[in-house]
Amino acid sequence: MRKFFYFFVATACLASVAFAADSQIWGEMRIPNILSYGQEQSLKLGALFTMLQNHYFGKIFLAILVLVPLVFFVHYKVIGPKVFSHEGKKVYAFDMFNRVVHQIAAISFIVIVPTGFVIVFGDFFGGGTFVRLCKNLHGIFTIPFAIVVIPMFVMWVKDMFLHWDDIKWLMIVGGYLSKVKNPVPAGKFNAGQKTWYWLATLGGVLMIVTGAMMYFLDFKIEMLNNITGLSQIDLLRVSAILHNVVGFAVVALFFVHIYMSIFAIKGAIHSILTGYKEEEEVKILHSSWYRKLKEQGKV
């Protein structure tokens, strides 16, 4: 028994030595990673990352956290929510598969976004166990999102391409600046939903990839170094910068998505829980889709 234990310990030690010798950061790669040791042509990403993280990232996240909800608060008070009858007929919009995929992504985002803010404002929370826990949750809840992001992309992609309606929708900001219930030009998804879709899927994949690179840190994918022409440490710096910058957009539109589904359109969240949208809501907010459904005799 003891023999096996020693064997296990020796193997573990050797494995970690091999790991250290293979390191892309602290082993042989340490020289090419150091700028002034023959890397004069480098992009100087270390200095850029230091400047951005020190002066801008935190402030921009704080601005998003305060200003986006503030704009919505004013919108809610001044223009108010759109209220549609929940007594009338309903339109079946999302099947079971759509709903499950969306729910898994939703739960992931509900954990990932706030824990991300805790990491960004880690000094406010004093670091330590709580922030470390949030950092780990931030990573763990990426797994369910990573599983559903491709099905989500595929199941909705045919409805998400640019359409003339989207231009018209953008010109009137989706009708959200007026209290009148005029039909708004939009198919099954309006221009706002389309923007969020592309950001959440393509941007989401980018967030997963950059986040995973920072999580695993010391990995070796030579192809990645060859294609980008970056050393390992510069790849990590690019990841950190992209993760923050794409994060601004994801977080801002995530807030928009929540405001729309819960506050701005009363009861809109039920459509992704039950699959049914109110007929009046579809008639006004997705008028082109409604017309199409009518031609097909589905409403």
Partner 1 sequence: MEYARMKFYCDEARCIECDGCSIACAEAHELPVGISRRKVVTINEGIPGKEFSTSIACMHCTDAPCEQVCPVDCFYIREDGIVLHDKDKCIGCGYCLYACPFGAPQFPRDGAFGAKGAMDKCTMCAGGPLETNSKEERHLYGQNRIAEGKVPVCAAMCATKALLVGDAESISNIYRARVSARGKGANSPYGWDRAYTK
Shortest distance, position 124 Cβ to partner 1, whole Å = 9
For partner 1, what does the binding mask look like between residues 193 and 232, x meaning CB under 8 A? ---------------------xxxx---------------
Structure tokens at 182: 């005029």
Site stretch for partner 1 (CB under 8 A), options 11-19, 144-152, 177-185, 200-208: 11-19
| 126 scored as a contact of partner 1 (CB under 8 A) | yes
Q: Quote the CA–CA distance of 227 and 23 in Å, as a whole number.
A: 20
Amino acid at 216: F
**H or E, element range at 204:** helix 204-216
By CB under 8 A, name the one of 62, 102, 121, 270 that touches partner 1. 121
For partner 1, what does the binding mask look like between residues 232 and 271, x meaning CB under 8 A? -x--xx--x-------------------------------
Amino acid at 279: E
| 53 scored as a contact of partner 1 (CB under 8 A) | yes
Residue whose CB is less far from partner 1, 57 or 84: 57
Residue whose CB is less far from partner 1, 29 or 285: 29
Residue whose CB is less far from partner 1, 121 or 198: 121
For partner 1, what does the binding mask look like between residues 127 and 166, x meaning CB under 8 A? xx--xx--xx--xx--------------------------
| 72 contacts: CB under 8 Å, gap ≥ 6 | 255, 259, 263, 264
Are 186 and 165 spatial neighbours (Cβ–Cβ below 8 Å)? yes
In the chain the beta strands, taken as DSSP E runs, fall at 90-92, 276-278
Structure tokens at 236: 């990590």
Tell me which DSSP letter residue 183 carries: P
Residue whose CB is less far from partner 1, 26 or 161: 26
By CB under 8 A, name the one of 26, 76, 92, 97 that touches partner 1. 26
| 268 contacts: CB under 8 Å, gap ≥ 6 | 260, 261, 262, 277, 281
| 10 scored as a contact of partner 1 (CB under 8 A) | no
By CB under 8 A, name the one of 43, 65, 113, 119 that touches partner 1. 119
Residue 182: strand, helix, or coil: coil
**H or E, element range at 252:** helix 232-258
| 17 scored as a contact of partner 1 (CB under 8 A) | yes
Amino acid at 20: A
Structure tokens at 55: 């002066």
Structure tokens at 295: 């031609």
Shortest distance, position 250 Cβ to partner 1, whole Å = 18
| 289 contacts: CB under 8 Å, gap ≥ 6 | 186, 187, 188, 282
Chain contacts with partner 1 (rule: CB under 8 A):
13, 16-17, 19-20, 25-26, 30-31, 33-38, 40, 44, 46-47, 49-50, 53-54, 58, 119-123, 125-128, 131-132, 135-136, 139-140, 214-217, 233, 236-237, 240
